[in-house]
A and B are shown apart, each in its own frame.
Chain A
Amino acid sequence: TQLLEQSPQFLSIQEGENLTVYCNSSSVFSSLQWYRQEPGEGPVLLVTVVTGGEVKKLKRLTFQFGDARKDSSLHITAAQPGDTGLYLCAGRRAGGTSYGKLTFGQGTILTVHP
């Protein structure tokens, strides 16, 4: 059972377009992190969100954490070819036997064409 459903799995757009990637779960997360990964490299942290309803902006990237802390979205405005990569959402849960293990979504492969 996939705890974090990330969509879409693939996204191919033209430079200048906007896009949104979604990360959804039926579980509550204490925090959620977004990473971007280029081929042959490790994931690079973009943002961590911890508060329900939180919105964070990083230049053209806007991250939202749902009020109930079960979902998150990443919105990119005016995408550029340099945004191309694998985007991963990953959440950490509290309670039970979980020690805050990072649970990853399936990832979104974004390709931005010039």
Chain B
Amino acid sequence: DAMVIQNPRYQVTQFGKPVTLSCSQTLNHNVMYWYQQKSSQAPKLLFHYYDKDFNNEADTPDNFQSRRPNTSFCFLDIRSPGLGDAAMYLCATSNTRIPTDTQYFGPGTRLTVL
């Protein structure tokens, strides 16, 4: 059974047209993360929510925003996508932020910017 679900799996948008990616989880985990992954590279953390507390990474562009309306759902908003934002976007969850806790990833959303 899928535990971390991402929709859509593939998203095509136009340069500058806002886009929203969705993540939901059935694990009831407190922490949800968004990563950006470019081809054959390691995932790069954009931000995470610890419950309702939003934590942005220092080098995440302002173009990227996130919302977490409840425990199960988290959204990634890209306000004005550029060609350089084309990537795989991964959502992950963990029960806590303690260092021995495991992160579980969703299948990802592949974003194409035309």
Contact = CB atoms under 8 A, between A and B. Distances in A.
A and B together in one complex: yes
Interface residues of A, number: 29
Contact of B105 (A35, A92, A94): A35
A contact patch SS: loop
Interface stretch (A13-21, A41-49, A75-83): A41-49
B99 A45 contact: no
A97 B97 CA distance: 12
Contacts of A101: 45
B99 A41 contact: no
Interface residues of B, number: 25
B107 A102 contact: no
Interface in B1-45: 4, 6, 33, 40-43, 45
B42 A40 contact: no
A108 to B, nearest CB: 10
